[in-house]
């Protein structure tokens, strides 16, 4: 686990998504730093924590809560599952929860049309072993698919994804397995803190319906939508920061 601190203000924990690292948030971090003390996380097996081989959602949540003060938690995509797990397991450490293009269940089911086919994660796992970089770049393309500025965003993500070294293959497989297996829908009603569900109208991995459903089933929750794909912070960083400032101002002391 690697955690670095930027900025001044109320504490905020920021967690990246699958195959990424904290540096992916550069556009958002620049707008957050004047308002928050940001605890920027590299999950095990990723970025500056890539000396660790394996990744586990519950273990990561426990270790981050032990290493950071009580804070507003913001998790993008897979990082949202870590943030949600922390909010459920160690609620005293989580002032508020922000799920950024993240869902309580990523895989589609007969009673859950707001996800992707389970076979997608299996295909990525197989391709990782055969063509490592190609699999990651294909996932980046899926993340930007649907965005009005997809090509520019894909170029930006390609420049950033390996900026802190290559993530560990084992950790990537663990992450895909976690995305495929986790279903926290029934736990939402027990959230002890307010939550904000931010997503992209054109997101092909976490469609808007997932965020709207989650906001309707979690207490003191609401959804916020941008005209983006799966990485809204790349083009809407100032607006997302404004939303976080407003959300934080309404949280209990």
Residue positions annotated with a catalytic role = 77, 203, 230
Contact 80, 70 (CB under 8 A): no
- 77 is written with which tokens? 């995509």
Of 82, 74, 112, whose CA–CA distance to 237 is shortest?
74
Contact 147, 154 (CB under 8 A): no
- Rama region for 103: left / alpha / beta (φ>0; ψ in -120 to 50; rest): beta
In whole angstroms, give the CA distance from residue 9 to residue 45: 29
| Residue 230: exposure state from Cβ atoms within 10 A (0-12, 13-18, ≥19) | buried
């Amino acid at each position: 686990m690697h955690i670095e601190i930027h900025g001044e203000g109320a504490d905020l924990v920021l967690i990246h998504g699958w195959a990424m690292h904290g540096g992916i948030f550069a556009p958002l971090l620049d707008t957050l730093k004047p308002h928050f003390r940001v605890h920027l996380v590299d999950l095990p097996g990723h970025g500056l924590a890539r000396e660790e081989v394996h990744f586990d959602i519950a273990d990561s949540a426990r270790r981050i809560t032990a290493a950071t003060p009580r804070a507003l938690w913001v998790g993008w995509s897979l990082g949202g599952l870590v943030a949600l797990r922390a909010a459920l397991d160690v609620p005293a450490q989580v002032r508020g929860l922000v799920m950024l293009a993240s869902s309580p269940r990523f895989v589609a089911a007969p009673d859950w049309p707001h996800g992707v086919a389970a076979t997608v994660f299996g295909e990525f796992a197989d391709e990782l072993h055969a063509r490592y970089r190609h699999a990651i770049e294909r996932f980046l393309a899926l993340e930007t698919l649907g965005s009005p500025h997809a090509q520019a965003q894909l170029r930006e993500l390609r420049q950033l994804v390996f900026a802190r070294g290559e993530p560990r293959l084992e950790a990537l497989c663990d992450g895909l397995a976690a995305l495929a297996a986790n279903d926290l829908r029934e736990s939402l009603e027990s959230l002890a803190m307010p939550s904000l569900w931010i997503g992209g109208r054109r997101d092909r991995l976490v469609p808007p319906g997932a965020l709207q459903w989650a906001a309707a089933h979690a207490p003191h929750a609401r959804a916020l939508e941008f005209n983006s794909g799966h990485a809204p912070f790349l083009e809407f960083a100032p607006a997302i920061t404004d939303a976080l400032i407003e959300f934080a101002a309404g949280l209990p002391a």
